[in-house]
Amino acid sequence: MTRILYIGNALSKHGYNISTIETLGPLLYSEGYHVITSSSRKNSAIRLLSMIKSTIRNAGNVDFVLIDTYSTLNFWYALIISQICRLLKIKYIPILHGGNLPQRIKKNPFLSELIFKNAYINSVPSLFLYQKIIDQKWNNIVHIPNQIEIRDYSFKKRTQFKPKILWVRSFTTIYNPKMAIDVLEIVKLSFPLAELCMVGPENGISIESLKKYANSKSLNVNFTGKLSKQDWIKLSESYDIFINTTHFDNTPVSLIEALALGLPVISTNVGGIPYLVKDGETALLVNDSYSKAMADAIIELIENPDLAQKLATNGRKLTEQFDWNIVKNQWKEILK
pLDDT tens per residue across span 142-168: 999 999 999 999 999 999 999 999 999
CA distance 331 to 268: 30
The pLDDT value given to residue 187 = 98
Strands 241-244 and 221-225: unpaired
Of the candidates 165, 177, 239, 245, the residue with the CA atom closest to the CA atom of residue 206? 177
Give the DSSP letter of residue 136: T
CA 305 to chain centre: 28
Residues 304-335: pLDDT tens digits? 999 999 999 999 999 999 999 999 999 999 99
Assess whether the previous peptide bond of 126 is cis (omega < 30° from 0): no
CA distance 74 to 68: 8
The pLDDT value given to residue 165 = 98
CB 198 within 8 Å of CB 313: no
- Looking at the chain, the whole-number percentage of residues with pLDDT higher than 70 is 100
The dihedral built from the CA positions of residue 52, 56, 53 and 65, taken in this order, carries a sign that is positive
Position 68 pLDDT exceeds 90: yes
CB 262 within 8 Å of CB 312: yes
CA distance 3 to 29: 10
Residues 69-85: pLDDT tens digits? 998 889 999 999 999 99
CB 322 within 8 Å of CB 256: yes
CA distance 184 to 288: 16
Q: Where are the alpha helices (DSSP H) in 261-304?
A: 273-276, 291-303
CA distance 229 to 46: 28
Domains, the chain, ordered by start: 3-144 (3.40.50.2000), 150-321 (3.40.50.2000)
Residues 89-99: pLDDT tens digits? 999 999 998 77
Residue 32 C-beta-side C-alpha neighbours within 13 Å: 7
Position 17 pLDDT exceeds 90: no
H or E stretch including 210? helix 207-216
CA distance 322 to 254: 13
The pLDDT value given to residue 98 = 76
CA distance 264 to 136: 35
The angle that helices 305-319 and 253-260 make with each other, rounded to 10 degrees, is: 120
- pLDDT bucket at 100, cuts 50 / 70 / 90: confident
Of the candidates 232, 222, 275, the residue with the CA atom closest to the CA atom of residue 257? 232
